[in-house]
């Protein structure tokens, strides 16, 4: 097989592959990808962003540099909508940083697309952020009082303002000074002149890993699935509280002070991360499967004829539940993979249509059967309700549902879009009330203990705040979902 670089040269970009965006659950708030030391760094980054598309579908961007000249392209839309051959070709240089974004607040503006690029004292600085700062409102007020002028409404921009204050000491030292001031969740990719930088908050809420290209060069990625795509070898995770700097001198690792207890986001395993990724040291597919197996142990008495997931979110827990319960696993609903962003939203009178165009029941599988649905989570409940109704209309005799995590009762302040309790059905209603709202014969959630045990961590170090309300970093006074935009 020809080397990767040669194959890249003959490839075409932005070929209009539409993402089958069928997800109706919570949205992830961003993906970060960077390459240092490859002549086609931007092209590799394009592919990396493609693999991370599930982490953000509102905008995408790449900044590329050879250490002197800088080129950027950012736009609203999916990766294949944002880039084409001509655009990727113009992003020259052996260093690139890319980002896909889903804004966690209402407005979705091009100026808030990342990487955020500025020029400071003759040095280009670019930043891509995954996470959410919990003290952003106070920090921004303080910085503005000291003369900082902000270009965006993103909390991510605060990090750049903190960084430039110490940049005369070099980017590593500047980040050692700046980052401990930012509280909350941040997995960062940064470009400072000719250095690619990765950094993770001391709690390690969001994933970030390092890889190496076969032809030389380093890769930084939110998830390992993006390394596989460009044939990079996983090296290790960027550690919580670690800053890695990659330039012509190799890789340098620095540690932020003070260290904090690790609180990895367990919801990455349940919903966000791709099943072919390994995050926090464990494979997502296997964890999801074990969650399904645990459901079978916790709910052994359901009498049913078959089990089925709502694809794709419940697939992997569904496999585990099917195997452990002994029920035949069927695909009782088929997903249309070609429903993209351009799908015209139906009017109010046709509102179920929007859900059904994505998932359609197979009557011959469901009719007169007692069905156990395996679902990964219930956030607002409206989509599940429509799907259950569709199963009943297709002739299901009984519909039971098992959920592979406990009820979501508390907001997330670390970069996920259910940041107010009003959006969470389980925060406002009992399990019995949710069951009735969804139109189910029975409803069961995985226990907190079962969920944690399914991860198979020797020493579990998780954030469980959206389930138990114990937020590892409390939001500061003035924190508001509608204050600054998270990423």
Our answer to whether residue 30 is catalytic in this structure is: yes
Which residues, in sequence order, are CB contacts of 289 under 8 Å at separation 6+? Answer: 316, 317, 319, 320, 323
Q: Which one, 227 or 473, has the nearer CB to ligand SF4?
A: 473
Q: CA 213: distance to chain centroid?
A: 23
CB atoms within 10 A of CB 345: 8
Q: Which of 205, 285, 310, 321 is the binder for ligand SF4 (CB under 6 A)? A: 205
Smallest separation (angstroms) from ligand SF4 to the CB of 16: 33
Report DSSP letters for 331-345, one per residue: --EEE-TT--TTSPP
Query: Which span (7-15, 140-148, 376-384, 459-467) binds ligand SF4, by CB under 6 A?
Result: 459-467
- H or E stretch at 400: strand 398-403
CB of 51 to ligand SF4, least distance (A): 21
Indicate the residue among 194 and 417 with the shorter CB distance to ligand SF4: 417
Is residue 33 part of the contact set for ligand SF4 (CB under 6 A)?
no
125-129-134-138 Cα dihedral, nearest 10 degrees: 20
CB of 436 to ligand SF4, least distance (A): 26
Question: Among residues 94 and 262, whose Cβ is nearest to ligand SF4?
Answer: 262
Instruction: By CB under 6 A, name the one of 113, 245, 466, 484 that touches ligand SF4.
Output: 466
Answer yes or no whether residue 102 interacts with ligand SF4 by CB under 6 A: no
479 binds ligand SF4 (CB under 6 A): no
Q: CB neighbours of 196 closer than 8 A, spacing ≥ 6? A: 34, 35, 36, 95, 97, 189, 190, 218, 220, 245, 246, 247
Residues between 327 and 366 that touch ligand SF4 (CB under 6 A): none
473 binds ligand SF4 (CB under 6 A): no
Q: Does 280 bind ligand SF4 (CB under 6 A)?
A: no
- Single out the catalytic residue among 30, 405, 412, 466: 30
Q: Are 82 and 73 within 8 A, CB to CB?
A: yes
Contacts with ligand SF4 in 250-279 (CB under 6 A)?
265-267
Between residues 37 and 56, which has the closer beta carbon with respect to ligand SF4?
A: 56
Q: Interacting stretch for ligand SF4, rule CB under 6 A, among 1-9, 42-50, 345-353, 411-419?
A: 411-419
Task: Give the residue from 358, 260, 238, 352 showing the smallest Cα distance to 310.
Answer: 358
Which residue is associated with the tokens 């997995």?
A: 187
In what helix (H) or strand (E) does residue 398 lie, and over which residues does it extend? strand 398-403
How many residues interact with ligand SF4 (rule CB under 6 A)? Answer: 11
Among candidate residues 34, 38, 25, 64, the one with its CA nearest the CA of residue 52 = 34
Assess 412 for contact with ligand SF4 (CB under 6 A).
yes
243-265 burial string, b = 16+ CB within 10 Å, else e?
Answer: bbbbbeeeeeebebeeebebbbb
Minimum CB distance to ligand SF4 smaller for 13 or for 267: 267
CB of 28 or CB of 40, closer to ligand SF4: 28
CB of 272 to ligand SF4, least distance (A): 8
Q: Does 463 bind ligand SF4 (CB under 6 A)?
A: yes
Q: Between residues 113 and 291, which has the closer beta carbon with respect to ligand SF4?
A: 291
**DSSP labels, 59-104:** EEEEEEESSS-EEEEEEES-HHHH--HHHHHH--SSEEEEEEE--S
- H or E stretch including 125? strand 123-133
Cα 189 to its chain centre, rounded Å, is 15
In the numeric block, the tokens 């959920």 are attached to 403
The one among 41, 137, 246, 465 contacting ligand SF4 by CB under 6 A: 465
Shortest distance, CB of residue 471 to ligand SF4, whole angstroms? 7
Cβ proximity to ligand SF4: between 177 and 239 the closer is 239
Among left, alpha and beta (phi > 0; psi -120 to 50; other), residue 439 is: left
Q: With CB under 6 A as the contact rule, which of the stretches 52-60, 154-162, 366-374, 412-420 interacts with ligand SF4?
A: 412-420
Cα 341–Cα 219–Cα 230 angle in degrees, nearest 5: 60
CB of 270 to ligand SF4, least distance (A): 9
Nearest C-alpha neighbor of 291 from the set 444, 453, 426? 453
Among 285, 316, 414, 479, binds ligand SF4 (CB under 6 A): 414
164 binds ligand SF4 (CB under 6 A): no
Per DSSP, helices labelled H in 299-430 are 315-325, 351-356, 363-366, 382-393, 425-428
For the CB of residue 37, give the shortest distance to ligand SF4 in the complex, in Å: 33
Select from 303-311, 321-329, 388-396, 464-472 the region that touches ligand SF4 (CB under 6 A): 464-472
Residue 416 within binding range of ligand SF4, rule CB under 6 A: yes
> Which residues are known catalytic residues?
30
Contact residues for ligand SF4, defined by CB under 6 A: 205, 265-267, 412, 414, 416, 463-466
């Amino acid at each position: 097989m020809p080397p990767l670089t040669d194959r890249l040269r003959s490839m075409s970009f932005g070929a209009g592959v539409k993402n089958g965006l069928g997800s109706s659950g919570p949205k992830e708030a961003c993906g970060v990808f960077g390459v240092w030391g490859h002549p086609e760094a931007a092209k590799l980054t394009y592919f990396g962003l493609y693999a991370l598309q599930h982490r953000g579908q509102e905008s995408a961007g790449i900044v590329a540099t050879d250490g002197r000249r800088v080129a950027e392209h950012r736009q609203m839309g999916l990766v294949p909508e944002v880039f084409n051959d001509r655009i990727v070709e113009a992003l020259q240089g052996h260093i690139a940083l890319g980002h896909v974004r889903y804004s966690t607040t209402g407005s979705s503006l091009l100026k808030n697309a990342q990487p955020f690029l500025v020029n400071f004292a003759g040095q280009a600085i670019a930043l891509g952020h995954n996470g959410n700062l919990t003290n952003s409102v106070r920090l921004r007020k303080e910085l503005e009082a000291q003369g900082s002028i902000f270009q965006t409404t993103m909390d991510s921009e605060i990090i750049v303002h903190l960084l430039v204050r110490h940049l005369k000491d070099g980017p590593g030292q500047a980040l050692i000074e700046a980052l401990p001031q930012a509280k909350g969740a941040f997995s960062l990719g940064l470009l400072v002149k000719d250095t690619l930088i990765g950094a993770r908050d001391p709690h390690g809420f969001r994933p970030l890993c390092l890889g190496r290209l076969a032809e030389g060069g380093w890769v930084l990625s939110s998830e390992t699935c993006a390394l596989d795509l460009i044939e990079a070898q996983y090296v290790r995770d960027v550690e919580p509280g670690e800053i890695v700097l990659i330039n012509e001198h190799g890789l340098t690792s620095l540690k932020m002070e003070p260290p904090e207890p690790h609180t990895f986001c367990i919801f990455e395993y349940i919903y966000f991360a791709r099943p072919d990724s390994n995050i926090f040291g464990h494979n997502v597919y296997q964890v999801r499967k074990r969650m399904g197996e645990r459901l079978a142990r916790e709910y052994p008495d359901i009498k049913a004829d078959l089990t089925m997931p709502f694809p794709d979110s419940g697939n992997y827990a569904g496999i585990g539940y099917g195997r452990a319960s002994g029920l035949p696993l069927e695909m009782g609903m088929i997903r249309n993979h070609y429903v993209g962003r351009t799908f015209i939203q139906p009017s109010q009178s046709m509102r179920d249509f929007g859900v059904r165009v994505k998932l359609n029941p197979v009557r011959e599988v469901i009719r007169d059967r007692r069905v156990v649905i395996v679902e990964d989570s219930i956030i607002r409940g409206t989509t599940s309700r429509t799907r259950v109704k569709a199963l009943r209309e297709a002739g299901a005799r009984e519909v039971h549902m098992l959920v592979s995590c406990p009820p979501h009762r508390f907001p997330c302040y670390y970069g996920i879009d259910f940041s107010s309790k009003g959006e969470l059905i389980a925060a406002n209603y009992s399990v019995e009330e949710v069951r009735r709202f969804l139109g189910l014969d029975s409803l069961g959630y995985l226990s907190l203990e079962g969920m944690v045990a399914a991860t198979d961590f020797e020493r579990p170090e998780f954030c469980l705040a959206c389930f138990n309300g114990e937020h590892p970093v409390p939001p500061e006074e003035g924190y508001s979902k509608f204050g600054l935009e998270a990423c």
